[in-house]
Chain A
Amino acid sequence: MSTEVEGLLRELAPQVLAALVRRHGQFDACEDAVQEALLAAATQWPVEGVPDNPRAWLVTVGSRRLADLWRSDSARRRREEAVFAAEVEDVEVSARDDTLTLLFLCCHPALTPASQVALTVRAVGGLTTAQVARAFLVPEATMAQRISRSKAKIKAAGGRFSAPPVGAERVERLRAVLHVLYLIFNEGYTATAGEQLVRGELTGEAVRLTRAVRELLPADGEVAGLLALMLLTEARGAARSRPDGSLVPLAEQDRSLWDAAGIAEGVKLVSEALSTTQLGPYQVQAAIAAVHAEAPSAAETDWAEIAGLYALLAQMAPNPMVTLNHAVAVAMVRGPEAGLAMLAELEGDDRVSEHHRVAAVRAHLLEMAGDVVGAKEAYLAAARLTLSMPEQRYLLGKAADLA
């Protein structure tokens, strides 16, 4: 399939889904019908050309699929007649609000985060079940089952395609949407090198959807912050692993490989958000990424600035991973002992005391402090705990380097 057709289908998917749901109700059935319409378009358009009104084409095919679906159900015969009676006109409703409405629906609180992610990527992102399954490394049948179950759960919980919620519920739901977009990005970004090819499209998908949300909510600082964080993270992508798949830590990355355009856009976005909107955790994380991105070399990193930003983040959204990164920044400013003292706070935290990153950071700080034996032990402990092959390779290598 040409990238042009694919791009068009991704863009139209939420609009077509919204048009069908508005006309026929039944989000779950309509979502399946849209999938089939997209598959039909993906096979026909590259051969026969893109129709004059691609959106109307998809709505028509989707409606026919719905009718096929209902034909097997005699009780719904009248419904089916109604489908054919419905004149497929291209109602130019605001596609903007539709995308947001769908995002709110797919991130329904009745679903677990993993289900929200899968459904969002398929229903709003327009990926096929096969693509979603490949991206998450499970068989297609498993993913299809997971998606239909998610839709059934939303239905049972009374989730409907209606105007996005207002007030406190809206704030809460938008937070869930941003978290899901962040998870989609992360899923693609943390993929190991061997899986990069199939999973890399998830990062692109997350950026595309976040851009769409940003267009809808241009005044929201956290949406801008999340988009900036993604762009700044993605900009370092080419430098973070070697051709053989081994990891390159930030301090050793060849900064000439960083994507200058992505960095420029990310820095601009986060700077504007910080000065004009209400502060939030995504903006602070993006600001930290921007400080790293703007340092000409690792040695010139403004660690004092980064430590200050982590202190701010720890106040706003405290969690063990923030403490961990804060400890590294503190160590760079005030020396490894100060960082190790902060790490000690995590010793009693059951959530992370067994986490490989705690051991890896401790190893790094012990190495800075000149404790070769302790560092080697901690690198080996981290290697035993990690579930990432490239990371394990890196940690074992670090341990071996310490004679």
Chain B
Amino acid sequence: MKYLLMIYMNDETWAGLSTRERDAVMAGHDEFQRLTRESGELLDTHALGGPSTAAVVRVRDGEPVVTDGPFVETKEYLAGYYLMDCESRERALELAAMIPDSRHNATEVWPVMFSAGVDV
């Protein structure tokens, strides 16, 4: 069963960490990827640009309207995600707890209902 582990970031929290803590988060991701690649659970992972790099597209009367910034202005935003293939929901939650950001912010766990792509 595939699960999307969505890492939520809060700029204030992130800026409030010491350099060492931030480095530990980064190193933690390397280790987490190594472990889940070895276990055959990691499908892919992407980190996203910050909210100020995002844009919102709406199509009205057939015309696209583009506005800068995220869809909803919130303190927490999606910073990146891991797509995992896990034995169970329990295992997905266990993996989410291993993501270093979960110690400072939060990780959302969503089951995947449908997949398509070149590799599946």
How many A-B contacts at CB < 8 Å in the complex?
A: 39
Interface centre among A138, A140, A392 (most CB of B within 10 A): A138
Q: Which residues of B contact A139 (CB under 8 A)?
A: 43, 119-120
Q: Which residues of B contact A149 (CB under 8 A)?
A: 38-40
Q: Which residues of A contact B50 (CB under 8 A)?
A: none
In angstroms, Cα B99 to Cα A257, docked, is: 50
Q: Which residues of A contact B38 (CB under 8 A)?
A: 145, 149
User: How many residues belonging to B are interface residues under a CB distance threshold of 8 Å?
Assistant: 17
Cβ of A143 < 8 Å from any Cβ of B? Answer: yes
Cβ of A400 < 8 Å from any Cβ of B? Answer: no
Q: Which residues of A contact B42 (CB under 8 A)?
A: 142
User: Is A142 a contact partner of B113 (Cβ separation < 8 A)?
Assistant: no
Q: What is the 8 Å Cβ interface bit string for chain B, positions 60-99, against chain A (1 contact, 0 not)?
A: 0000000000000000000000000101000000000000
User: Is A142 a contact partner of B87 (Cβ separation < 8 A)?
Assistant: no
User: Is A142 a contact partner of B85 (Cβ separation < 8 A)?
Assistant: yes
Cβ of A387 < 8 Å from any Cβ of B? Answer: yes
Cβ of B37 < 8 Å from any Cβ of A? Answer: yes
Nearest CB in chain B: distance from A191 CB, A: 12
Partner of B115, one of A112, A137, A146: A137
Q: What is the 8 Å Cβ interface bit string for chain A, positions 105-145, against chain B (1 contact, 0 not)?
A: 00000001110000000000000000000100111101101
Cβ of A389 < 8 Å from any Cβ of B? Answer: yes
B44, closest chain A residue (CB): A139
User: Is B111 a contact partner of A387 (Cβ separation < 8 A)?
Assistant: yes
Considering the complex, which residues of chain B in the window 1-38 have a beta carbon less than 8 Å from any beta carbon of chain A? 1-2, 37-38
Q: Which residues of A contact B1 (CB under 8 A)?
A: 387
Q: Which residues of B contact A112 (CB under 8 A)?
A: 87
User: Is A388 a contact partner of B120 (Cβ separation < 8 A)?
Assistant: no
User: Is A137 a contact partner of B111 (Cβ separation < 8 A)?
Assistant: no
Partner of A142, one of B43, B114, B115: B43
Q: Which residues of A contact B120 (CB under 8 A)?
A: 134, 137-139
User: Is B114 a contact partner of A138 (Cβ separation < 8 A)?
Assistant: no
User: Is B111 a contact partner of A138 (Cβ separation < 8 A)?
Assistant: no
Interface centre among A112, A114, A388 (most CB of B within 10 A): A114
Q: Which residues of B contact A145 (CB under 8 A)?
A: 37-40
Nearest CB in chain B: distance from A394 CB, A: 14
Q: Which residues of B contact A143 (CB under 8 A)?
A: 40
A137, closest chain B residue (CB): B120
Interface residues of B (CB under 8 A from A): 1-2, 37-43, 85, 87, 111, 113-115, 119-120
A and B contact pairs by CB, cutoff 8 A, 20 listed: A113-B87, A114-B87, A134-B120, A137-B2, A137-B115, A137-B120, A138-B43, A140-B119, A142-B42, A142-B43, A142-B85, A145-B38, A145-B39, A146-B39, A149-B38, A149-B39, A149-B40, A387-B111, A389-B114, A392-B113
The 3 closest A-B pairs by CB, nearest first: A146-B40, A145-B40, A139-B119
